[in-house]
Amino acid sequence: MELAQMQKSLQDYTKSLFLEGVLDSQFLQLQQLQDESNPDFVSQVVTLFFQDSDRILNDLSLSLDQQVVDFKKVDPHVHQLKGSSSSIGAQRVKNACVVFRSFCEQQNVEACHRCLQQVKQEYYLVKNRLETLFKLEQQIVASGGMIPAMELGF
């Protein structure tokens, strides 16, 4: 594939993520923090987010499966996931966490189970999308090209 075409694909792909609400402007903030001195910042932070989230989702599954659910354990996990997803711009994950937290407050186990499923769904979606995005970037870089700068002006 031609370099220019790859770059266009990347831009279109990224745009679609914003339009679908999978990513929000905070992701652009992340990109602003990437430069020649920190060329892999975005992928590093996102990888960290994946590692953190995998662990948290696992802990949440375990906590919610207990006979007696300890919401004092559940809530901080959801809080952290909400924070990190918000920091990278994973809007739908963050929104799912907000709902999750309100049910934690009500100590509604049924609803929390449903929320966890919802969070997982959104998380796997954004994870999949971002992995694709990074692959597209790598292809461009491997072909000697530059990653086009993204602007939220569409």
Partner 1 sequence: MGVVTESQFHVLAVDDSFFDRKMIERLLQKSSCQVTTVDSGSKALEFLGLRESNQSDDPNATSTSPEVEINLIITDYCMPGMTGYDLLKRVKESAAFRSIPVVIMSSENIPARISRCLEEGAEEFFLKPVKLADLTKLKPHMIKTKLKKESEKQAEEVKPEIEEEESPVIEILTLHQELESEQQEPMLSNNKRKAMEEVISTGRSRPKYNDITTSV
Q: Which residue, chain included where needed, has tokens 């929320």?
A: 115
CB 67 within 8 A of CB 7: no
Distance of alpha carbon 124 from alpha carbon 149, whole angstroms: 26
DSSP letters along 78-108, please?
Answer: HHHHHHHHHHHTBHHHHHHHHHHHHHHHTT-
Q: Which C-beta is closer to partner 1: that of 88 or that of 115?
A: 88
CB 23 within 8 A of CB 126: yes
Q: How far is the CB of 3 from partner 1 (least distance, A)?
A: 28
Q: Which C-beta is closer to partner 1: that of 49 or that of 71?
A: 49
Which structure tokens are listed for 103?
């049910």
Q: Which C-beta is closer to partner 1: that of 58 or that of 143?
A: 58
Q: Which C-beta is closer to partner 1: that of 7 or that of 122?
A: 122
Q: How far is the CB of 129 from partner 1 (least distance, A)?
A: 19
SS3 call for 23: strand
Q: How far is the CB of 100 from partner 1 (least distance, A)?
A: 14
Q: How far is the CB of 44 from partner 1 (least distance, A)?
A: 8
Q: Which C-beta is closer to partner 1: that of 2 or that of 35?
A: 35
Closest CA to 17 of 27, 5, 6, 7: 27
**Residues, the chain:** 154
Residues of the shown chain interacting with partner 1 in the complex, contacts defined by CB under 8 A: 26, 29, 32-33, 35, 38, 41, 44-45, 48-49, 52, 79-80, 82-84, 86-87
Q: How far is the CB of 106 from partner 1 (least distance, A)?
A: 18
